[in-house]
Structure 1
Amino acid sequence: MRSEPVTWSPVAAQAASLLEEATDLLVLHRDFAAALERCEAGCDSLGTASGTSPVPESSAEVKCSLCVVGIQALAEMNRWREVLSWVLQYYHDPEHLPPKVLELCILLYSKVKEPQVMLEVGSSWFRDQSNKRLPEYGSLLELYLLHALLPLGRFEAAEELVRSCDVFDSEQQQAFLGTISESRCQWTQREDRYSAAEQQEDTATETLLGAVSQKLLAMLTFLRRALRSMSSHFSLLPYKKMLLATFLLYLVVVRLDPASPTSLPFIYKLVQLFRQAWAAVSSPVHRSPVQD
């Protein structure tokens, strides 16, 4: 019995034509922006998958292919951060993502070292009952474990997914659980090595700070002794001589008007008197007084 050819609706045929243009722009012409525009136009013409109204199989395949080409175009333009949000414009709910689109997203965010982006999406997709009946479920779950959950240390979530997966038989489940256990041990060893290295770095920093603080303490001790010596030296000067010098300086600078002619002889006498007082003040303390 001959199978009937697939009939394309006008919308699906138009989207398929846009898909062909986008593929040529991506592969042959390397015009990634134009390829992305064709993909967006094709997806917009097909509408969004709401999950309630069935989508013709031909339209679903074209839409999935358009998203695949769009993801590749975004990645080529280094706009990989927009990939997931761009895809979810056309598949509102994460659990409605086609297996091929989900696979590309997992691999892409794993390659750019951002696997945490796929945690929430993957959790919703793999817990959906309708997705568990898909033939790609087992291989996608393995991909999700190796490229998202285990690199992030989500070992409990990985074990829960494996145990709740009806696709795996007991032997496969044990193999995956063994992989999870091995990955957990490696994770713990890396954390121990990192903690040891961090502790050594902290010890070296404390040693360096200790040496610096000792030098600073020695400098402060020396400065304190110098200040104490200076203060003790100045405390030995007679207060009368200090007061006399201060008073003379006050008269010369503040009280007298140097521009006044009558003040010149008196200023000259005060200067002479100030010089004598300063010589007496700055003379060694231990010098014996002059005998009359």
Structure 2
Amino acid sequence: MEQVSVHVTAWYQDLDNVREWFPAASGQKILSEREIESDLRALRSALNETEINRYRALCRDTAALMTQVLSAARSDDSEFDVAAKLTAGAIAQGGEVLVALVSGDSRAAARHPLPTAAPLGGKAMAVLCVRRHGLIANITRWVRFGAPTPQELSGEDDILAVEADILAAIRPGGVLGELLPVIQGSYPEHGFDAGEWSLHHQGGIAGYNGRDPRLTPGATDLFQLNQAFAFNPSAARDGLAFKVEDTMLLTESGDFEVLTFDPLWPSNLVNGLPRPAVLQR
């Protein structure tokens, strides 16, 4: 059995200067985290049973919180109001809020909307990223006050179709970066501008980082069973904004499980998966 040595340092010492507090390493090459980053990701990416159970619990709690807050929201509530309730609720559940975004219809064009004092208006989007036990749940939901237009309903269906194309392209042993051409082709195929993929990140592998890693050109991380994902295609059309995001698990059977599914939130089946509809108020 290998021995582990504990080195106590003062709070003001430079931890990166390893040779100062661990002289025995003076003749060794000290690897930076960046040099072994991909190896570390591969080791933590396939989740074990304990991790999966913790993730399910976190994602259920986060999804239920989103349902609770948006079900009680009013059109004259401010973005600040909704973000505050989501944040307080997540903390009460033992979570650490990494991202809490809200945009009312006056700021629908914002892809990553930090909340403001603006009212929700006719339609609003809320985004939560919550960490607990190291794992991070990612979720986006929409609420609408009033009747939808045909353009809204069409766009909501089409953004789910883009997401469906992404999920259909994931197979164990595949490479993350190979999804990018799929996404680039999917937007125009479903009636969105071909450049939409470049206007906001598209998500990626999930787990112990918000994206672990984010999908970028040339990403070499492999898809594995028991691996989590959170993709978030977003687009604008006819002056309207559309986005979908859930945390999912690629299970042992090769199927996806929507971890952030809440049975109280309205949903529709897309390729056998429950996908979130807009909450109609």
Same fold (TM over 0.5): no
Whichever structure has more strand as a proportion of its residues is 2
Shorter-normalised TM range: under 0.3
What is the TM-score with the length of structure 1 in the denominator?
A: 0.21
Give the structure, 1 or 2, with the largest relative contact order (CA under 8 Å, sep 6 or more).
Answer: 2
TM-score relative to the length of structure 2: 0.22
Structure (1 or 2) with the greater helix fraction: 1
